[in-house]
Amino acid sequence: MKTMKKIIPAILLFALVAVSCNRAELQRVNQENEQLKEQLAKRDADMENFKEVFNDIGDNLADIRTREKMIVKNSATAENGDRVASVKDDIRAIDEMMKQNKESLARLNERIKNSTGENSQLRRMVESLQATIREKDQEIVQLVSQLEQLNIEVQDLYSSVSDLRMETIEQGKVIETQVEELNTAWYVIGNEKELREKEIITKEGGFIGIGSVSKLNRDFDEENFTRIDIRKKMVFDLDAKKLKLITIHPSDSYLLRQNDDTKRFYRFEIVDAEALWKNSRYMVLTVK
């Protein structure tokens, strides 16, 4: 009897634990079902949104094709002021629709990254639309070019043409800057004491000052030099009894002009700029 009294509470405890476990499992399953429903609802909403954007882009492209035909028709009689105005209005409208298409695709790409489920099909659809819009963009750029040849000024009305023109200008500036840097050098001319005080040159080697050689200081200040374009600056006027090149340059890349009567040097003349500046873009010339 005592044994039965011990068994009954154990059975009840086991039953309670089983019920509790079943309830927890049921709650977990219900929670997972709710999450799955939310995911499916979000996926369906994403699909509807994607379809809506695809349809909008398709409508825009159809409208653009219609306007392109009207532009070609109206541009055939470019002398007509009203038709020219109509062409410009159509180009503005096409530009606005192309901007909307590109912005819509950018948003779609972002949503695909954050959406749930398999996105490969949607991604392929977006990539296909992007290719279509790129082709249409190039087509319209060509149309704008043709209109310009008919003296219908529309370049500033289509963003891709304006952007391309600005990009070309910026690239030209970058190239110009690079060319300028490639043809830049620095020089300084002065007496040796002055150049040492400015820490442009320094004495190296020798013993207690005897046999030392003047060299370009490793930590010189570029502000003490004059910047030049090596394609243009070939002649340096002087008036010196003695002169010496501190920096190393091939002897056959320059000439020293000397007055026959006074024996004073009056000009340092570069005869081969490429050779002279090959090893160093800095030239230091001491005069006395």
Confidence class for position 234, pLDDT limits 50, 70, 90: very high
Instruction: Please tell me the predicted confidence (pLDDT) of residue 40.
Output: 58
Domain ranges for the chain, please list them: 15-164, 179-287
pTM > 0.85: yes or no: no
The type of residue at 209 is G
pLDDT (mean) for 127-149: 82
Q: What is the pLDDT of residues 145-175, one digit of tens each?
A: 887 777 777 777 777 776 666 655 566 667 7
**Three-state DSSP state, 173:** helix
What lies within 8 Å, CB to CB, of 158 at 6+ separation is 91, 94, 95, 140, 141, 144
Instruction: Please tell me the predicted confidence (pLDDT) of residue 200.
Output: 84
- Asked which of 8-22, 89-103, 142-156 is least confident by mean pLDDT, the reply is 8-22
pLDDT (mean) for 192-216: 71
Residue 283: beta bridge partners? 187
User: What number of residues does the chain have?
Assistant: 288
Percent of the chain at pLDDT exceeding 70: 71
Instruction: Please tell me the predicted confidence (pLDDT) of residue 171.
Output: 66
**Three-state DSSP state, 39:** helix
